[in-house]
Copies of this chain bind each other. A is one copy, B any other.
Amino acid sequence: MAYYETMFDQLDVTAAQLLVNDSSFRDKDFRKQLNETVKSMLDLRVIPIFNENDAISTRRAPYQDSSGIFWDNDSLAALLALELKADLLILLSDVEGLYTGPPSDPNSKLIHTFVKEKHQDEITFGDKSRLGRGGMTAKVKAAVNAAYAGIPVIITSGYSAENIDKVLRGLRVGTLFHQDARLWAPITDSNARDMAVAARESSRKLQALSSEDRKKILLDIADALEANVTTIKAENELDVASAQEAGLEESMVARLVMTPGKISSLAASVRKLADMEDPIGRVLKKTEVADGLVLEKTSSPLGVLLIVFESRPDALVQIASLAIRSGNGLLLKGGKEARRSNAILHKVITDAIPETVGGKLIGLVTSREEIPDLLKLDDVIDLVIPRGSNKLVTQIKNTTKIPVLGHADGICHVYVDKACDTDMAKRIVSDAKLDYPAACNAMETLLVHKDLEQNAVLNELIFALQSNGVTLYGGPRASKILNIPEARSFNHEYCAKACTVEVVEDVYGAIDHIHRHGSAHTDCIVTEDHEVAELFLRQVDSAAVFHNASTRFSDGFRFGLGAEVGVSTGRIHARGPVGVEGLLTTRWIMRGKGQVVDGDNGIVYTHQDIPIQA
């Protein structure tokens, strides 16, 4: 109690001890008095701290005798919560909450919402928790009693000072006990897992289909999209209306709108994907390992993808059809602005998937809250593709062990060499910045060969940008020459009608600048000098390197990949615009006649490449 007092003192809060006995609760007058006392104390802003009055307790073995009305601090807390009609009971433990097994076991999962009917039997309790005598068994018993008598209970860790605050702000910490919990459809960790496991099972069924049957699913989806154009439009209009009401920016609202024309062109792109050569099971390499022992490297689906995308609902259709084409299961989380549009598109698509595969092939994640749970499932989700802000991508990368495919930054450069065609340079520089200034493949830095200062080409380039409303910031050299403000950093992505300009010595200076400050997305050289161009193409270590073409071409559709799930600036797995191929992995298939290794004695390795039949 002295400790509590001192601690509360630090916060200028008065605390007072109330010692109670099991037997007192049998007395109705005591219980009435207790309520009044606590009310008075709270009115006086005094915090009551309850404990059993051990000194005068008459029970034989306090804390072990469970015959009374309460028998430990947890049951006392539950009893008091009921007596005092508390709004909420928080039980603090030394672990984050109730787990499905011993918290030290990596297979144990935190239960966010306890449902008696579901969890009672599945939990295995470990040793008592170290602090206090209650242990988790006692806490759960007390929590269940209180919850089913109408007082919600949360068990959480007392180690983090912020947890109580988080509980009061309604954040999802610890384990919640509520009498109606079984009626809710809460997104629990096991729900997320169920979705992922179902997607994997369905994806295996999808893979077992013939190529023709997989193609037919895509054609059916395209038909279903066109057949449901009215329903889709109706739901989409509700999203659009909400967005306008909420005062969303015009450009954002425009991205949200699904016209019948857009739906038709989506259906067309799904049909185009259906027409593409089947990407699954393709033999990529074939080797005779030894006489009669043949090894094939074949393409195969990755498994289950989790894709988080922003407001455009057409992305859902593109991603879903890419996933089906590549034989993958899919979990999708769209932006909340497109909630209704995504829901109807998801329904139309999954309804068109035959029962032999199952609609659970594609799961629609509806709440942001589920994302952290999904990101933990590195054993059932194979790849995460975030399509959104830099912040979203970084946040996801920092919180998951699942591989992440995407780009955080798109700092693209155009280097204009001294041997450039001036008109071409102006055209490419303008297009690279202005065609869509906020795109990740838009130019953020213009590098210019120093000789172009003398012959006025630099000025022409600058004028081409400035006259179209582009704000320019200069590196140390350019800001002096052009008398423009100095850029704060070369590593900056404007995502707007603005860019950095710098003067470099030559192509080597440009390459060095790009390696130092770029994000390895897309970089371009404009030159008529073939040798310089090839040097740039060979040495710039970016996902896409262009000669005499706008950086804006760096895109799955423009590359001819059919559609894209995103652009990867990572170096592992897929790089640059990612279409179907990036959603595939490989399997090694070996066919023998009973060969064994036997210390490599029994076999003569030939390792002959076998041509692959087209």
**Residues on A close to B: CB < 8 A?**
2-3, 6, 10, 204, 207-208, 281, 287, 289, 293, 295, 300, 302-303, 382-383, 397-398, 401, 403, 421, 424, 427-428, 430-432, 435, 515, 526, 533, 537-539, 541-550, 552-554, 558-560, 570-573, 575-577, 585-600, 605, 607
Contact of A593 among B289, B397, B548, B576 (CB under 8 A): B548
Q: Please indicate the chain B residues that have their CB under 8 angstroms from the CB of A548 in the complex.
A: 591-595
A295 contacts B572, C-beta separation under 8 Å: no
> Are A596 and B541 in contact, CB atoms less than 8 angstroms apart?
no
Chain B residues near A428 (CB, 8 Å)? 594, 596
B-side contacts of A537, CB under 8 Å: 589, 591
Docked Cα-Cα span, A287 to B554, in Å, equals: 14
A572 x B431 contact (CB < 8 A): no
State the main secondary structure of chain A at its contact with B. mixed
Inter-subunit contact B204/A591 (CB<8 Å):
no
A553-B515 in contact (CB<8A)? no
User: Nearest CB to that of A435 among chain B residues?
Assistant: B597
Q: Which of A281, A553, A598 has the most CB of B within 10 A?
A: A553
Quick check: B515 and A560 within 8 Å, CB to CB?
A: no
Q: How far is the CB of A423 from chain B (nearest CB, A)?
A: 8
In the complex, which residue of chain B has the Cβ closest to the Cβ of A383? B572
Pick from B204, B382, B544, B549: contact of A592, CB below 8 A: B549
The closest CB in chain B to the CB of A584 belongs to B571
Considering the complex, give the chain B residue whose CB is closest to the CB of A526: B594
Q: Please give 14 more A-B residue pairs, beta carbons under 8 A apart, in addition to A204-B541, A545-B587.
A: A207-B541, A208-B538, A287-B560, A289-B558, A383-B572, A424-B594, A435-B599, A537-B589, A541-B587, A545-B589, A549-B592, A554-B588, A571-B585, A575-B585
Q: Which residues of B contact A595 (CB under 8 A)?
A: 548-550, 553
Q: Contacts A295-B559, A596-B550 hold; do A571 and B435 have CB atoms under 8 A apart?
A: no
Minimum CB–CB distance for A522 against chain B, Å: 8
B303 touches A571 (CB 8 A): yes
- The smallest C-beta distance from A385 to any residue of chain B, in angstroms, reads 12
- In the complex, the answer to whether B204 meets A515 with C-beta atoms within 8 Å is yes
Which 8 residue pairs across A and B have the least CB separation, nearest first? A549-B592, A431-B596, A560-B607, A424-B594, A552-B597, A544-B588, A573-B573, A546-B590
- 15 of the cross-chain contacts (CB-CB < 8 Å) are A3-B6, A289-B560, A295-B560, A302-B572, A303-B571, A383-B572, A431-B597, A544-B590, A545-B590, A547-B590, A549-B594, A550-B596, A553-B595, A553-B597, A554-B588
B560 contacts A587, C-beta separation under 8 Å: no
Q: How far is the CA of A80 from the CA of B494 in the complex (A)?
A: 52
Q: Distance (Å) between the CB of A395 and the closest chain B CB?
A: 12
Contacting A204 at CB < 8 Å: which of B293, B539, B586, B590? B539
B552 near A596 with CB under 8 A, answer yes
When distances are taken between beta carbons in the complex, the residues of chain B under 8 Å from A588 are 543-545, 554, 559, 575-577
Nearest CB of B to A81, in Å: 28
* A435-B560 in contact (CB<8A): no
Contacts of A295 in B (CB 8 A): 559-560
* C-alpha spacing A549/B287, complex, angstroms: 15
Chain B residue with the shortest CB-CB distance to A285: B581
**A287 to chain B: which residues have CB within 8 Å?**
559-560
What residues on B are CB-neighbors of A539 within 8 Å? 204, 207-208
A430, B602: Cα distance in complex, Å:
14
Question: In the assembled complex, which residues on chain B have CB atoms less than 8 Å from the CB atom of A558?
Answer: 289, 597, 600, 605
Question: Shortest Cβ distance from A398 into chain B, in angstroms?
Answer: 7
| Other-chain contact of A543, B554, B587, B607 (Cβ < 8 Å) | B587
Asked, given contacts A575-B586, A585-B572, A587-B545, whether A397 binds B403 with beta carbons under 8 Å apart, the answer is: no
